[in-house]
Amino acid sequence: MIKKEPIVFDYNNMMADYVGDCQGFDDKDIAANRALAKKAFEEVKAGRGQNMMGWTELPTNQKEVVTDIIATAKQIRKNFDSFVVLGIGGSALGPMALFQALCHLHHNELPKSKRKAPKFYVEDNVDPERMTALLDVIDVKKTMFNVITKSGSTSETMTQYLIIADILKKALGDDFASHVIATTSETKGNLIKIAKKEGFKTFFIPDGVGGRFSELCPVGLLPAAVLGINIKAFLEGAKYMDNRCRNANPSKNPALMAALLQFLSMKNGKNVSVMMPYADSLKLMADWYAQLWGESLGKAVDLDGNKVYVGQTPVKALGVTDQHSQVQLYTEGPFDKVVTLISVEKYRSEVKIADGCEDIPAVNFLCGHTMNELITAECNATEYALTRSGRLNNRIYVPEVNAFTCGQLMFFFMLQTAYTGALLHIDTFNQPGVEEGKNATYALLGRAGYEEKAKELNGQKAKTDKYII
């Protein structure tokens, strides 16, 4: 039974009363920017379901596809030993985040009887060593490959596909198509053409859903369902958060308040957004967030064409691990960060710290406590240390990591990103910087139509040996 409890956004330590006058905000700042927040809210509301904001409707408009996904997943669970996602960026980070959040932390190492789902791998790169390593551990004859690409043309994903298709054809002949599912645009790109030609089962990424906003569509839902994750509860969680964020008053809309505070912080020179979950299960949620935040808000021009060069560098951290690595910088380095702590109230297991070292009080004080108490105390301690040193921080309380709370969390961050983009008056949903890199790769590898770009690249100023040692 999944507990359907709300996640909570606590922004006390963004306020001057707590973090000090130099860095924090007060009620007057919030009141002074209420109209701006309302404008951003209205813009996002008006854009819902249109252009690149199709993702807002995903919690409620996928009844048929969810049924198809669940039925397909059931077959895959029955017939395959491994499930491999071929994709990159927004087509990979969401499935990875949900896998880490909601499956056993050593899922692939569990015996089949305990795992109850295929082993799970996401390629997310074109490192030849990684591909070779994957092929060393899977049996392609017992593996389902899910090729995911919205554009249907991303070099990395198509490279992964070409390699796997060749191996599958050699191993299975005509049956190879039953080992590939394509998740892509229904109308655009090359993958849909290939899928039709080869006869792959397909799921579609709606037109108005960009890569980093795609976790709630088949991009995320199929891998999750294969893993046995309750995708209906996941979508319900997203819908629950959506309903909580239907108010133009930031004090009554957690995602809008979170956006407004980040926006005001950016204006005060806070160029770094640290995401620090105190749970290994949420570690890759921080990776997913990093793409969402970085790619959506890092923009050179605003909607009127003015050069603005905005954005906040997302940093992924893990509590408590990074207390022994990054927190020194967060508490004593430059005043350029906002730290978001994510704490979990009820971990899915409890581990008691064993008795011992009775003659050493400085160790023995730990005995009788649980690891749960320790990790929570350490989160509280970091929050205290940050606040004491005047560092802006906020905290998201997750009652328990489950499909419902993950749906809330992801929708919260997507809405926060959309509101922040509206406050910054930028196009949150494009990625010209990423496209530039994709085009340069096409040109370097000789794709037809990219001759001009190749000329431009070849015409770059040659590097001098003087600066190479």
Which ranges of 173-230 would DSSP assign to H, the alpha helix?
A: 191-198, 218-226
**Closest separation between CB of residue 124 and ligand PA5, Å?**
10
Cis peptide before 320 (omega within 30 of 0): yes
Q: State which residue has the least CB distance to ligand PA5.
A: 211
**Looking at beta carbons only, is 49 or 432 nearer to ligand PA5?**
432
Is the CB of 212 or the CB of 337 nearer to ligand PA5? 212
**Pairwise CA distance, residues 176 & 413, whole Å:** 39
Q: Where do the DSSP E strands lie in 150-293?
A: 180-184, 201-204, 272-277
Task: Give residues with Cβ within 8 angstroms of 159, minimum separation 6.
Answer: 126
Beta carbon of residue 149, minimum distance to ligand PA5 (angstroms, whole number): 3
Long-range CB pairs of 444-450, under 8 A, 24+ apart, other chains included: 445/155
Rounded CA gap, 281 and 403, in Å? 12
For the annotated catalytic residues, the residue numbers are 295, 324, 438
CB of 251 to ligand PA5, least distance (A): 31
Nearest-10 crossing angle of helices 218-226, 63-79: 40
CA–CA distance, 161 with 89 (Å, rounded to integer): 15
Q: Is 449 left (phi over 0), alpha (psi -120 to 50) or beta?
A: left
List helix spans (H) across 322-426.
Answer: 327-332, 361-364, 371-388, 403-424
Binding site for ligand PA5 (CB under 6 A): 88-91, 149-151, 154, 157, 210-212, 295, 431, 434
CB closer to ligand PA5, 156 vs 236:
156
Q: Determine contact, residues 395/341, Cβ cutoff 8 Å.
A: yes
DSSP summary character for residue 356: -
Residue closer to ligand PA5, measured from CB, 42 or 127? 127
| Inter-residue long-range contacts of 239-242, CB under 8 Å, 24+ positions, other chains counted | 239/59, 239/60, 239/407, 239/411, 240/4, 240/6, 240/404, 240/407, 240/408, 241/7, 241/407, 241/408, 241/409, 241/411, 241/412, 241/415, 242/56, 242/59, 242/411, 242/415
Residue 307 φ/ψ, nearest 5 degrees: -70, 125
Give 190 or 389: the residue with its C-beta nearer to ligand PA5. Answer: 190
Name which of 154 and 331 has its Cβ closer to ligand PA5. 154
Question: Taking the complex as a whole, how short is the minimal distance between the CB of residue 152 and ligand PA5, in angstroms?
Answer: 7
Residue type, 268: N
Query: Rounded to the nearest whole angstrom, what is the least distance from the CB of residue 256 to ligand PA5 in the complex?
Result: 23
The smaller minimum CB distance to ligand PA5, of residues 189 and 250, is found at 189
To ligand PA5, the closest distance from the beta carbon of 301 in angstroms equals 18
Report the nearest approach of ligand PA5 to the CB of residue 288 (Å): 11
